[in-house]
């Protein structure tokens, strides 16, 4: 049990670090309309990450409160498209605030012993807390690495 708790704590630290780096990048006041992928600019990526982080927060919060989670529906490409479309008109500041709020919710429930498996998306398998934290950290890390490559930043990259 202590080992599992340590893995959750460690993966939570890694996630917080990735989020801090992402937020720091988006607080620089740069032009975030620079295209990073064929159809997404840097701001779109922030919206995409925020959308998914809020989904994680909602699912873990529902479980912690004894409610049935309602994970995102649709193919991964449909949900990813939705993630950008629904956040496109938000300001950078608002997206950062939403991201921080989602993280606070995740941290409030991540050590809840009632929660074992967390849904990711309808049609996908559920993940343990440790796995979910790892998947989210890796997701943010990949996007941040791609953003930095385009923006020519040389911050810590692994």
CATH number at residue 49: 1.20.120.450
Report residue 7 as tokens.
Answer: 């893995």
Question: What are the pLDDT digits (tens) for 98-139?
Answer: 999 999 999 999 999 999 999 999 989 999 999 999 999 999
Burial of residue 139 (number of CB atoms within 10 Å: 0-12, 13-18, 19+): middle
Q: Is pLDDT above 50 for 64?
A: yes
The number of beta carbons lying within 10 Å of the beta carbon of residue 156 is 7
Task: Let me know if residue 158 belongs to a domain.
Answer: no
pTM: 0.93
* Nearest one of 144, 156, 150, 127 to 49, comparing CA atoms: 144
Structural domain tally of the chain? 1
Residue 128 host element (H or E): strand 127-128
Q: Which domain holds residue 53?
A: 2-151
What is the separation of C-alpha 17 from the centre of its chain, rounded to a whole number of angstroms?
12
Task: Let me know if residue 122 belongs to a domain.
Answer: yes
Task: Let me know if residue 35 belongs to a domain.
Answer: yes
Task: Let me know if residue 157 belongs to a domain.
Answer: no
Q: What are phi and psi of 135, to 5 degrees?
A: -60, -45
pLDDT over 90 percentage in the chain: 91
Task: Let me know if residue 127 belongs to a domain.
Answer: yes
Task: Let me know if residue 52 belongs to a domain.
Answer: yes
What does the alpha-carbon distance between residue 19 and residue 151 come to, in Å, rounded to a whole number?
18
Task: Let me know if residue 156 belongs to a domain.
Answer: no
């Amino acid at each position: 049990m202590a080992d599992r708790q340590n893995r959750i704590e460690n993966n939570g630290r890694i996630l917080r670090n990735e989020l801090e780096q992402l937020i720091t990048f988006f607080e620089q006041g740069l032009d975030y309309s620079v295209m990073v992928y064929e159809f997404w600019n840097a701001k779109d990526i922030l919206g995409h990450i925020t959308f998914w982080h809020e989904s994680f927060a909602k699912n873990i919060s529902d479980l912690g409160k004894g409610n049935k989670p309602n994970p995102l529906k649709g193919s991964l490409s449909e949900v990813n498209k939705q993630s950008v479309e629904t956040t496109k008109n938000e300001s950078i500041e608002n997206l950062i605030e939403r991201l921080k709020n989602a993280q606070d919710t995740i941290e409030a429930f991540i050590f809840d012993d009632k929660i074992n498996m967390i849904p990711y998306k309808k049609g996908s398998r559920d993940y343990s807390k440790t796995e979910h934290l790892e998947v989210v950290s890796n997701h943010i890390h990949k996007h941040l690495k791609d953003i930095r490559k385009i923006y020519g930043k040389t911050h810590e990259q692994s």
